[in-house]
Chain A
Amino acid sequence: MQGGGGGGSESGSMSTVSRDENMVVSSEDSSCPDESGLELGLGLSLGGGGGGGGGGRQGGGFKMHHVSKGGPYARILTAKDFPSSSLSSSSSSSSSSPSLSKANVTAGTKRTAESVAVAANGSSQVVGWPPIRAYRMNSMVNQAKVLTMENHKKETSMVENSSIGGYRNDGNTKLKKSTFVKVNMDGTPIGRKVDLNAHESYEKLAKTLEDMFLETAPSVNPSGSTALQLDMLNRMTRHSKLLDGSSDFVLTYEDKEGDWMLVGDVPWEMFLTSVKRLRIMRKSEATGLAPR
């Protein structure tokens, strides 16, 4: 190990997930005070004569610095103290192209294969990131499973369970994968996700989507809104504008084959098995789709 070296130039398990690696290396935080005067060339004292097995290899003498409150926190060593060191310590660590930090940064951009996996949706996944407790992650996975179980149990099992006096997993429920699908609306940059299993019909789904995307204000009595919006906000009507063709938008979905279809053509259960994602499309663009 080189004296005081930060792990040498071959080190590297710092995972870089961002696609903008250039920004990391070259970015400057210009608001930070100039640190060109401070170098970090510090090491640990080995007492008299170097001691231990590792002492001889350290090269040169170092001093141990005890941190004291309010006092100066380090004796600054310079390149002269490391005659044999291959690391140039003449640069400041926070300026735009410091050799020391650059060594660390570029070395660190090597990603160890174990710690990063590329997820199916293309975004890289790093172990333990984002920092969400395993308990919560398991709950999120289980959420989809339980919803599936609930659907299977609907009418009959409530009665059965109350007579048994316990609620047990009956073991013959099939576990499907997650039932959340992405929904995008033309003209809206941010997409949403909706849980298909939480709705048992097209009407319910359309109502939810209307609430999500076509609602302009969360208040119950929007002032100045058009008759169309008032109508949508009125929860008493179960009539969906998206489905009956009276809105400027139509609800479409992409099926397993990659085709875009109008929502509502097939029975709900069949829809559930074939839908991949949803899109609220402008009516003008929805030509050529299978008619209702």
Chain B
Amino acid sequence: MPRRLASSLSDEVLEHVFSFIQSDKDRNVVSAVCKSWYEIERWCRRKIFVGNCYAVSPKMVIRRFPQVRSIELKGKPHFADFNLVPDGWGGYVLQWITEMAGAYPWLDEIRLKRMVVTDESLELIAKSFKDFKVLVLASCEGFSTDGLAAIAASCKNLRELDLRESEVDDSSVHWLSHFPETYTSMVSLNISCLGSGEVSFSALERLVSRCPNLRSLKLNRAVPLDKTANILRLAPQLVEFSTCTYSAELRSDVFSNLAGAFSNCKELRSLSGFWDVVPDYLPAIYSVCSRLTSLNLSYATIQSPDLIKLASHCPSLQHLLVLDYTEDSGLEALASNSKDLQELRVFPSDPFDAEPNASLTEQGLVAVSLGCPKLQSVLYFCRRMSNAALVTIAQNRPNLTRFRLCIIEPKTADYLTGEPFGVGFGAIVEHCKDLIRLSLSGLLTDCVFEYIGKYAKKLEMLSVAFAGDSDLGLHHVLSGCESLRKLEIRDCPFGDKALLTNAAKLETMRSLWMSSCSVSFEACKLLSQKMPRLNVEVIDERGPPDSRPENYTVDKLYIYRSVAGPRFDMPPFVWTKDEDLALRLSP
């Protein structure tokens, strides 16, 4: 009887059951039960997430999942955000769009991160997918307002257009005006990355006024303050809003207009922007502060007293992003006012100055850790830290899931004891059993990696810089961290041994990045030969690695698992096995 159970349920019933299973992991498990479940599941999977666009080819995805409606792709490795990946490395989306245009006429959602998107790709999206609804381009580049104009003109049912942190070229086209007058479906619009020439304010106003479902609006910074009030009055139903530039001079008429407009917005829960804000304007938002759950002041150069005052009005805050101008005193005030805080990010206002320009130390973070019981996610830039502080944080906040600490000067030791931070980060990984993301900094020996390998069993992403003494450090991580998916390392003395010993581990991970470490090209070739399902890319702009002495180490190394084999769009500075090299060099 049990053997026939799988086939005794009709396909339609199974499909209906599967429709309740949304997560990719669960779907993958379901598809592995038996052949018939695999078949049923693949026909009804609607959402695909590809964490590395080179891990699989579009044809393979289409072959297995013929009826996809929503796709998310990620391209360049994370360190591309910090200019460590040379231009032209890859991450092109055009081939994906071309293949999907033919195979998925009903595709309605495309989400891309760190990919190169061209106007051609955008035009193809605009004309291929009749019911297109969601376009998210996060940290993308390669397109201009021409491409946006095509989207605006053709996608009648577009609900979401989010260009967060992308680089958009200005082609001087009034792309916003390309939304026809009959278009009314916008729900979420994020154009905060656009420059001043790229948004016609009157077109924006008209668009906002005819989209009654608009919930999230993030303007670009060039929209002046007096216009902000107009926009808000047109869209009092907004839940998320990013302001634009505040002028440098307080004008009472502008202020009261703005305050009035904000007070109309009863649904507002998230505010960001605040570029160049002058503190005198902040009270204009006080009326919405009590309901705010998310506040991004990380572009606002306001000082601690104003921030303290603002924070005292926001008891419901769950997410706060802020500059180090907030200082320890600001964070202490936050700790006593905002008991629902889940996420804190503190960015440096002047990262390149050797001396601190704001009184922000480890004390601020300790205060928030002690005072905010729901704190889960931390990103903290500071100039000094102690093991004692880290231990305190770890013991008081075992519920931390993301902990990223950046002590600005590399290899800074514990300022109280002069010791490395093995004990401190060791406490973090030991106590925070659900930690999935960790970034290390400061003076670190191999010791910290032993702790990480021993305790960080749920860790999925680890970022390491200027740390460790030897291959043993890397070995601890690769052999101990069972859940590791992404490992990125720069400027550490990790070399061939740890890599080659743990070659098999690399197939269980999405990717490994190593730059300015001690890996030789020979080891890369060896790894590549023995592990055919890994793409081993040596990124080196200094010339063919083969032409240098044998023990010369590679500049950058990016290793990722792939079922698609080597990619065909590698630029000249990416080197792989000998055969490819010979092909490349032949005339």
Q: What is the interface of chain A, defined by CB distance below 8 A to chain B?
A: 1-2, 4-18, 20, 23-24, 27-33, 35, 38, 40-46, 52-54, 64-67, 69, 73-74, 93-94, 98, 100-101, 104-105, 107-108, 112, 115, 119, 121-123, 125-136, 139-140, 142-143, 146-147, 150-151, 154, 158, 161-162, 165-169, 180, 182, 190-193, 195, 197-198, 200, 208, 211-212, 215, 218
The answer to whether B497 touches A134 (Cβ under 8 A) is: no
Give chain B residues whose Cβ lies under 8 Å from the Cβ of A33: 450
The answer to whether A104 touches B518 (Cβ under 8 A) is: yes
Give chain A residues whose Cβ lies under 8 Å from the Cβ of B555: 13
Closest to A208 in B: B303
Contact (A7, B495) CB under 8 Å given A65-B501, A167-B196: yes
Give chain B residues whose Cβ lies under 8 Å from the Cβ of A73: 475, 479-480
Give chain A residues whose Cβ lies under 8 Å from the Cβ of B84: 127-128
Task: Give A66 to B479 CA distance when docked, in angstroms.
Answer: 10
Closest to B420 in A: A29
The answer to whether A108 touches B504 (Cβ under 8 A) is: no
Closest to B193 in A: A135
Contact (A143, B491) CB under 8 Å given A15-B466, A44-B526: no
Q: What is the interface of chain B, defined by CB distance below 8 A to chain A?
A: 79, 81-84, 139, 165, 193, 195-197, 199-202, 221-224, 226-227, 245, 247-249, 275-276, 278, 298-299, 301, 303-305, 308, 329, 333, 347-359, 381, 406, 408-413, 418-420, 422-423, 439, 443, 445-447, 450, 463, 465-466, 469-472, 475, 478-480, 482, 490-498, 500-505, 516-520, 522-523, 525-527, 529-530, 549-553, 555, 578
The answer to whether A129 touches B445 (Cβ under 8 A) is: no
The answer to whether A13 touches B495 (Cβ under 8 A) is: no
Smallest beta-carbon distance A68→chain B, Å? 9
Task: Give A74 to B504 CA distance when docked, in angstroms.
Answer: 12
Task: Give A101 to B473 CA distance when docked, in angstroms.
Answer: 10
The answer to whether A38 touches B472 (Cβ under 8 A) is: yes
Task: Give A143 to B222 CA distance when docked, in angstroms.
Answer: 11
**Contacts A/B (CB < 8 Å), 9 sampled:** A1-B523, A27-B419, A27-B445, A64-B503, A135-B193, A146-B276, A150-B276, A166-B199, A211-B303
The answer to whether B493 touches A108 (Cβ under 8 A) is: yes
Task: Give A72 to B489 CA distance when docked, in angstroms.
Answer: 25
Task: Give A38 to B475 CA distance when docked, in angstroms.
Answer: 12
The answer to whether A193 touches B491 (Cβ under 8 A) is: no
Residue picked from A125, A143, A150, A167, most chain B C-beta under 10 Å: A167
Give chain B residues whose Cβ lies under 8 Å from the Cβ of A20: 411, 413
Give chain A residues whose Cβ lies under 8 Å from the Cβ of B412: 18
The answer to whether B525 touches A212 (Cβ under 8 A) is: no
Give chain A residues whose Cβ lies under 8 Å from the Cβ of B498: 40
Contact (A167, B222) CB under 8 Å given A1-B522, A24-B411, A67-B479: yes
The answer to whether A132 touches B351 (Cβ under 8 A) is: yes
The answer to whether B357 touches A192 (Cβ under 8 A) is: yes
Task: Give A15 to B491 CA distance when docked, in angstroms.
Answer: 6
Task: Give A143 to B526 CA distance when docked, in angstroms.
Answer: 49
Closest to A10 in B: B551
Closest to B302 in A: A198
Smallest beta-carbon distance A217→chain B, Å? 9
Residue picked from B165, B495, B505, most chain A C-beta under 10 Å: B495
